[in-house]
């Protein structure tokens, strides 16, 4: 059968028909809103690198998250901006840290919202890496402590030139630190912990630490397929987590590789990941397709800061329609096979959908 019998346009002739035959849909409960908690009180501070995203002190975070919940968004992914940094990122596992306090406050004040927490060291270490450096190689100048890194906004992001720095991050020494961070989040009440460091074996280390402490019901959402991407720039400015030397290419994935993503996902599922994430999203739709076909756990796509900021800035310049490009991007991720999407636009999108 072919033209003139077959006419694909027949199915497109009205909005009602198009809606009826749409293969892919987007609903608020498929969205996850990242949020940034800072110490202090009465703070709602716009993040310069992420239009319409703010740093909130805990007292102001609560009403904001209540509003996000009212729009039907399922979960928030919590990031903290700590006050202190050191070589081992010790603040990250403190029961009194800003993230742990925010988790407790949110669980109490907004019980229907699922609280997910990012588990990493990079915002807490003075060198800005996601793990501990190999001993004796703390920093290029020999100093191990750079306390204020506010100037990181201007630091070049992941450069596309070959890495010249061979200092490396100690995988196995990092694992217990990550497990402690995850445990402190679980003790505070996080329902989902999300390791974003890309150390080998961290899902297993976190799962067994959680189980040992009887947190069997706490889920692990692994950043299973996390590329060493230039699209994280606006986020690093927001969380002050730019590496102070070298880059993250000895632990995050090479953007040339697709097959390797399946290996990362397989290992994380074997180690106990309940959900697996791919990040960034739009430049890696092929990876989402392959991962969706390979595993039976929910697949999550993270529309990262650079993807979001590029759209917002282009829209602000009148070059694209903000809503249309956002909806098209998110639908593309769903079409590729993502069950859930993490996006800085989650709350806004949920409102558009209503």
What's the closest the beta carbon of residue 7 comes to ligand PBG, in angstroms? 43
Smallest CA-to-CA distance from 31 within 61, 62, 79, 72 is with 72
Judge whether 85 counts as a catalytic residue: no
Helix (H, G, I), strand (E, B) or coil at 26: coil
Catalytic residue among 85, 154, 214, 226: 226
Region near ligand PBG per CB under 6 A, out of 36-44, 55-63, 234-242, 330-338 = 234-242
Phi/psi for 221 (5° steps) reads: -105, 110
Cα–Cα separations (whole angstroms), residue 56 to 40, 45, 65, 97, 309 = 9, 7, 10, 15, 19
Q: What is d(CA 235, CA 273) in angstroms, rounded to the nearest whole number?
A: 24
Residues 237-276 contacting ligand PBG, CB under 6 A: 241, 248
Q: With beta carbons less than 8 A apart as the criterion, state whether 123 and 82 touch.
A: yes
CB-wise, 99 or 304, nearer to ligand PBG?
A: 304
- In the list 56, 124, 227, 235, the residue contacting ligand PBG (rule: CB under 6 A) is 235
What's the closest the beta carbon of residue 206 comes to ligand PBG, in angstroms? 15
Q: Tokens 């994380």 map to which residue?
A: 268
DSSP β-bridge partners for residue 195: 119
Binding-site size for ligand PBG (CB under 6 A) equals 12
CB-wise, 153 or 294, nearer to ligand PBG?
A: 153
Phi/psi for 254 (5° steps) reads: -80, 130
CB-wise, 152 or 294, nearer to ligand PBG?
A: 152
CB-wise, 116 or 291, nearer to ligand PBG?
A: 116
Site for ligand PBG contains 232 (CB under 6 A): yes
- In the list 196, 244, 329, 343, the residue contacting ligand PBG (rule: CB under 6 A) is 196
Q: What is d(CA 124, CA 91) in angstroms, rounded to the nearest whole number?
A: 6
Q: What is d(CA 200, CA 226) in angstroms, rounded to the nearest whole number?
A: 12
- In the list 30, 171, 305, 311, the residue contacting ligand PBG (rule: CB under 6 A) is 305
Residues 98-137 contacting ligand PBG, CB under 6 A: 118, 120, 122, 130
CB-wise, 10 or 154, nearer to ligand PBG?
A: 154
CB-wise, 233 or 337, nearer to ligand PBG?
A: 233
Judge whether 312 counts as a catalytic residue: no
Q: What is d(CA 206, CA 223) in angstroms, rounded to the nearest whole number?
A: 13
By CB neighbour count within 10 A (0-12 exposed, 13-18 middle, 19+ buried), where does 9 fall? exposed
Phi/psi for 71 (5° steps) reads: -85, -5
* Active site (catalytic) residues: 226, 279
Positions that interact with ligand PBG (CB under 6 A): 118, 120, 122, 130, 196, 232, 235-236, 241, 248, 304-305
């Amino acid at each position: 059968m072919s033209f003139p019998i077959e006419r694909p346009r027949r199915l497109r002739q009205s909005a009602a028909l198009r809606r009826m035959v749409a293969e892919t849909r987007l609903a608020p409960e498929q969205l996850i809103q990242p949020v940034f908690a800072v110490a202090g009180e009465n703070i709602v501070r716009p993040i310069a690198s992420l239009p319409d995203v703010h740093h909130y002190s805990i007292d102001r975070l609560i009403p904001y998250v209540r509003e996000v919940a009212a729009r039907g968004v399922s979960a928030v992914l919590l990031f903290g901006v700590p006050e202190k940094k050191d070589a081992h990122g010790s603040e990250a596992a403190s029961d009194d840290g800003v993230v742990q306090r925010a988790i407790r406050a949110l669980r109490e004040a907004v019980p229907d919202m699922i609280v997910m927490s990012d588990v990493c060291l990079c915002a807490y270490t003075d060198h800005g890496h996601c793990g501990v450096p190999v001993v004796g190689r703390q920093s290029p100048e020999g100093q191990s402590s750079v306390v204020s890194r506010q100037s990181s906004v201007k630091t070049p992001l992941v450069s596309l030139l070959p890495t010249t720095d061979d200092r490396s991050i100690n995988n196995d020494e990092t694992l217990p630190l990550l497990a402690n961070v995850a445990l402190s989040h679980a003790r505070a009440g996080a329902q989902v912990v999300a390791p974003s460091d890309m150390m080998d074996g961290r899902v297993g280390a976190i799962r067994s630490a959680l189980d040992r402490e009887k947190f069997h019901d706490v889920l692990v959402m692994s950043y299973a397929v996390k590329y060493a991407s230039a699209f994280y720039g606006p986020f690093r400015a927001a969380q002050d987590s730019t590496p102070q030397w070298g880059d993250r290419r000895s632990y995050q994935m090479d953007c040339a590789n697709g097959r390797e993503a399946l290996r990362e996902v397989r290992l994380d599922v074997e180690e106990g990941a309940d959900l697996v994430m791919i990040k960034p999203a739009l430049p890696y739709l092929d990876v989402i397709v392959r991962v969706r076909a390979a595993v039976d756990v929910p697949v999550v796509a993270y529309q990262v800061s650079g993807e979001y900021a590029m759209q917002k800035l282009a829209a602000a310049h009148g070059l694209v329609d903000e809503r249309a490009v956002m909806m098209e991007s998110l639908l593309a991720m769903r079409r590729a096979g993502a069950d859930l999407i993490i996006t800085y636009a989650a709350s806004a999108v949920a409102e558009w959908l209503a």
